Structure 1
Amino acid sequence: MLRWIKEHKIFTAAVSIVIILAVIISVSYFRGNGFFGKAVNSAYTAASEPASDVTGGIKSGIKGIFGFRSIMRENEELKDEVEALKREITEIRLSERELAELRELANALNYTSVAESQSYVTGKIVLTDSSNYFNTFTINVGTESGISENAVVVSGNGLVGRVSETGNGYSKVTAVIDDNINISFQVEKNMSILGVVSGDGNGKIEGYTFDGDSGIVEGDVLITTGIGMYPEGIEIGNVTAVDYNSDTQLMSIKAEPAVNFKSLRKVMVLI
């Protein structure tokens, strides 16, 4: 063996150097110091970073997907809660409006003629004509409730009109603002002033007094006389204009109806 080593000195020296370097590198690597250790560690770290980034990205992506689904679920739950609250608010508002309407109808009982009426029923407007005002409209009560044609219709604010047609479960009402209806009136402050009014077809009332020197003025309140089908004392409207007609020698008037037909929802029918 020694003879072979002596004969191959160069080869033996080279192998010895390689073995020594391998030992140095191994020791440096495990201890983490030294030139070779640092070089090896740097190479390992550089090779590990891409794999670590990929793994971290996958984990983050998975978390993001589940987080997005959670947010979407929470949004849907919040939407359902908001819709439920909106429905509750709407129901409360409807209840308040219905209560206000019933209170308004109760005001109609303050009219002596209405209070003395033998009976009445309340109805809800379910259909109107095609005009901007309620010249004619339909309510949801009829003959089954004792309503007949020409029954007087009122609200808490005043005279609404009369029933022009009725049947089982419905009644058609012609309002005081319709030009086919005529009502005798008296002035509340001076009941000796008499006249007749009818609708002008445009949501207002117009008419005349029997006496050209009656003294009626703007702001006067018109009420029913009790002559004809309408009980006495129900408010018809307020005078907005007065003009003497020299041709007829009568005092022409224009008036705003006591009832706001645009907001009218419920009425009372005298039977």
Structure 2
Amino acid sequence: MNKIDLDGRTAIITGGARGIGYATAERILESGGSVVLWDIDGAAVDKAVADLGARASGTAVELTDEAAVAAATRQAMDAAGKIDILVNNAGITGGNGKTWDLAPDVWRKTIEVNLIAPYITSRAIVPLMMEAGYGRIINVASIAGKEGNPNASHYSASKAGLIGLTKSLGKELAGTGVLVNCITPAAARTSIFDQMSQEHIDFMLSKIPLQRFLEPAEVAAMIAWLASEDCSFTTGAVFDISGGRAVY
């Protein structure tokens, strides 16, 4: 494994208790950083923190609640004194269905978790990064945000919105020392598959030229580089990690 230098850096990872978020925490710790996990599932956070060790901490946070995010941000700042990295990873699929069959409350919830929550966390943390003159924000979007998956219009729209948020915020922060980028993974076999139909899972696999699903550790490696000082001249960009499905 290549060593990415994150010595002394503090990272907040949303949805950090499992899957890609947990793998990212492992990689940041291996690179010398510390992690703060924010996740809706308090029991899962406690287990993840115990498994990750001394430089990991975490708390249950409802990421769509501005007051909860503000309180968690203060807690992180009180404990670490700074926030260098924000990984907006938390997300839901909202299940599968034709656009006209999906219930409005399901659509709204998917947009709230996948798009509005990253706005809320960024809104809370960006001013702190600007004051420090340094920061790295990595948004975990999806290949669905580029291509639009059938039977997942709510998920696709939320991830397309997250790509747009990345581009706007990256340009707004240019010159401040804070860089904002996003990644567009193909499907990784994590617990999020439990929210999908087998038909949709088979569809996603059929679209990947490398003919396998993405491993969470592979996503974590890309995130770790984007979170490092080595990523110094890229902001507002979209990094593909889709096994050849999208080459743009």
Q: Which has the larger radius of gyration?
A: 1
Structure number having the greater strand percentage: 1
TM-score for both structures, normalised by structure 1: 0.21
Q: Which structure has more RCO (C-alpha within 8 Å, separation ≥ 6)?
A: 2
Structure number having the greater helix percentage: 2
TM-score for both structures, normalised by structure 2: 0.23
